Amino acid sequence: MRKPIAVLALLILFVFLAMGAIEMRPFGEPEETEMDDYFLYDEEEGSQAHNHVNNVVTAVLFDYRGLDTLGEATILFAAVSGVLTVLRELKKEGGKDD
Amino acid sequence: MNWKMSRIVRTVTNFLIVPIIVYGIYLVLHGHLTPGGGFQGGAVIASSTALLIIAYGTLGEHEKDLSSVEALGLTLFILIALLGIGTTMFYNFLAGAGGVFGGTIPEGINPGYINTGGTVPLMNIFVGLEVTAALSLIIWMMSKETFVINSEKKEVKD
């Protein structure tokens, strides 16, 4: 009883996935290019001409908003300092008491 | 502190540790071309440290080294940021200037060239160093404490 239903559900799912795969556009040819035209390919403001980075997200993280990343790294440094302070090994004096 | 897992786990760890570290380094080095970057790649490399600690129980006496690597990464990051102070802090003075990471990008869709990006890949590398060392240190210190607690419980039971 449960097996035919499962097979049917699987078949329907497969058909929909196959339809999606067939209708997919070829790689590197997006349908809408307004965002790319501004953020990537713009001759003055785009990240390709401005700082020669293909990946806009990384360009924002490490170039335009580099101070933010510095803050993140400092927070991580402070977190590690705190963990090392709390969990540091205390040396026993003379080994008399634990 | 000489707690280990079985020989099977240790052997599989020895095989898995190399692809994990290579994948992390790939994520860090291709941060300016593909999704990923210093933080993500550093976290992947730190997961290999977690695997080592689970399998072997200890990293040896490398705590000071990890602390130094972390401080070095952060210092070099700030240094690179200050090198562009002629214009502003975090100015990308290497982009398109030729030399290391100074290549130019042909306009439009391109497959991605690793010798581009100016200071961005350098900062990725330094942040990757820092995140690797920081997360490894946190994982290691916490695992160390649990091992101590477990051994104390055993002593109480005996």
pTM: 0.80
* Residue B1: inside a domain: no
- Higher pLDDT pick, B150 / B106: B106
* Residue B72: inside a domain: yes
- Higher pLDDT pick, A2 / B128: B128
Per-residue confidence (pLDDT) for residue A92, from 0 to 100: 58
Per-residue confidence (pLDDT) for residue B156, from 0 to 100: 47
Burial class (CB in 10 A: 0-12, 13-18, 19+), A40: buried
Residue whose tokens read 């020669």: A52
**Has the ipTM of the complex gone over 0.85?**
no
At A74, the pLDDT band (50, 70, 90 cuts) reads very high
- What would the mean pLDDT of A56-63 be, rounded to a whole number? 88
Q: How many Å lie between the alpha carbon of A41 and the closest alpha carbon of chain B?
A: 6
Residue A3 and residue A7: Cα distance in Å, rounded? 6
* Residue A93: inside a domain: no
Are B107 and A41 inside 8 Å of each other by CB? Answer: yes
* Residue A53: inside a domain: yes
Q: Which of B33, B63, B105, B140 to mutate to test the interface with A (most CBs of A within 10 A)?
A: B105
Q: Residue A51 belongs to what domain range?
A: 33-86
Per-residue confidence (pLDDT) for residue B157, from 0 to 100: 46
Query: What would the two tokens of residue A60 be?
Result: 């924002």
Are B123 and A62 inside 8 Å of each other by CB? Answer: yes
Per the structure, the count of domains in chain A is: 1
* Residue B2: inside a domain: no
Are A66 and B33 inside 8 Å of each other by CB? Answer: no
Per the structure, the count of domains in chain B is: 1
Kind and range of the H or E run holding A9: helix A2-22
